[in-house]
Amino acid sequence: MSLTARDLSLFAAMGAVLAMVAMFQSPQLAVTILNMSLISAVMALGVNMQWGYAGLFNVGVMGFTAVGGLAVVLIAQPPVPEAWAAGGLGILLGLMLGVATILAAVIVYKRMAPGTLRGIALFAVLLGGYLLTSLVFGPAKQAVQAVNPASEGYLGGAGLPVILAWPVGAVFAAGVAWLVGKVSLGLRSDYLAIATLGISEIVIAVLKHERWLARGVNNVTGIERPVARPIELQPVPWVQSLAETLGWSVSQTASVVSGLGYSTLFIIVLGLLIWLAERALNSPWGRMMRAIRDNEVSARAMGKDVTRRHLMIFVLGSAVCGLAGAMMVSMDGQLTPGSYEPLRFTFLIWVMVIVGGSGNNWGAVLGAFVIWFLWVQVEPAGRWFMEIVTSGMADGSDLKQHLLASAAYMRLLTMGVALLLMLRFAPRGLIPER
């Protein structure tokens, strides 16, 4: 399932548009768009696995990317010894007690005969477990958060190289996905959608409010980066000579070089993923997945365990989203739970997949590039449009102010219209499934 000439020309056109951004706007902007597009492409690949191969509707992409981002903090940040001394053990013990409570409840539920007695036992186990957990966990959490709250107040990470966080982020997301999928797959198809919507809100709530974990809304900043920062590149001789040849300032050159460093890493990851995904899609496994998507009943009649396969692909796709989340946090060098918005991190990715062509990996990638480009560029275009609309109005009039201020929301509208138009008139997307 290779690319046709038409697909290649679409990609080439996208490249040309980015080159034009580099020429007419600024090279830094072009690199920023490129990098975010690559990350979005990885997310879109994950969603495409779930939707395109298996028809699973995941509206919790935001949650899985955020979990992946958390991995970066937990892996790359240096540990905070004072915090560990103050309450590290208590927190670990508390978490273990919490898990033990749930396991005990499950055992009680499974082993005891149904009836009032089981209900009472279940309630007792849950209540006792809850009280014990909060007794251990609460004080430990307070103690950790009290350690140097202005800059730390959390346990820190493992102090390992940041690249390690990428696979770990994928594993984290896979774990969460397994839990959600186990509960909601095998039921009506919309239930998965609602369950994922819920889990993503909860993941963000946990990230925002559990300060011992990753400082909550205080954000973790200055995370170690896999690529040298622009400021470190500026004194490097070859960067300076490059700046001279190009006729750019040194700081501009350094940030472009640093950005391209990320691009290289991301392209390697994306390339690897696409290679794997294409191999999988064209293997017996891929054909089975598509058979299940197209006709669950007959796949089941052929002896395929549909629910298990769904769970598998759901976990895989979410892992890819987690990987993308980790990549994004390590590029930004910070984890900011407050910035995770469902419209941006879940629904925009969906627009990418639909516009690009669901079921086709290359389509998802192209969709990511096109939509991210529009997302970035529609805002200035919207402002420009509003300025024209309002040019006839008196300066300082309320309506004019209001319209100018709301130009930012034009892009939500544009994305919605793009999604609806594609769904209606070209439901197979820019690069259709073959």
Partner 1 sequence: MEPLNALVSLANFMLIPAFAYGSQLALGALGITLIYSILRFAHFAHGDTMALGTAAVIGGTFFLQARGISIDPLPTAILALPFGIVVMAGYLLAADRLVYRYYRKVKAKPMIFVMASLGVMFVTNGITRLFMGVGETRFEDGQRFIFTVRDFREATGLAEGLALRNAQALTIVTALIVMVVLFWFLNRTRSGKSMRAYSDNEDLALLSGINPERVVMITWVITAILLVLAGTLYGLDKGFRPFNYFQLLLPMFAAAILGGLGSPIGAIVGAYVVAFAEMGITYAWRRVFTYLMPEGLEPESMMQLLPVDYKFAVTFAILVIVLLFRPTGIFKGKVL
Site for partner 1, rule CB under 8 A: 55, 57, 59, 130, 183-184, 187-191, 193-195, 197-199, 201-202, 205, 208-209, 342-343, 347, 350-351, 354, 405-406, 409-417, 419-420, 423-424, 427
Q: How far is the CB of 413 from partner 1 (least distance, A)?
A: 3
Short-list 64, 55, 12, 66, CA closest to 353: 55
Q: How far is the CB of 403 from partner 1 (least distance, A)?
A: 8
Is 145 or 414 the residue whose CB approaches partner 1 more closely?
414
Q: How far is the CB of 328 from partner 1 (least distance, A)?
A: 22
Is 209 or 308 the residue whose CB approaches partner 1 more closely?
209
Is 268 or 423 the residue whose CB approaches partner 1 more closely?
423
Is 147 or 192 the residue whose CB approaches partner 1 more closely?
192
Contact, 52 vs 433, CB < 8 A? yes
Contact, 250 vs 239, CB < 8 A? yes
| C-beta atoms surrounding 216 within 10 Å | 19
Q: Which residue has the tokens 């390992």?
A: 160
Q: How far apart are CA 128 and CA 52, in angstroms?
A: 45
Q: How far apart are CA 180 and CA 314, in angstroms?
A: 9
Q: How far apart are CA 381 and CA 377, in angstroms?
A: 6
Q: How far is the CB of 372 from partner 1 (least distance, A)?
A: 16
Q: How far is the CB of 412 from partner 1 (least distance, A)?
A: 3
Contact, 344 vs 356, CB < 8 A? no
CA angle (328, 329, 330) in 5-degree steps? 90
Q: How far is the CB of 209 from partner 1 (least distance, A)?
A: 5
Is 256 or 352 the residue whose CB approaches partner 1 more closely?
352
Q: How far apart are CA 45 and CA 352, in angstroms?
A: 10
Is 302 or 343 the residue whose CB approaches partner 1 more closely?
343
Is 195 or 370 the residue whose CB approaches partner 1 more closely?
195
Q: Give, as one character, the DSSP assignment of residue 156.
A: B
Q: How far apart are CA 163 and CA 257, in angstroms?
A: 19
Helix (H, G, I), strand (E, B) or coil at 429: coil
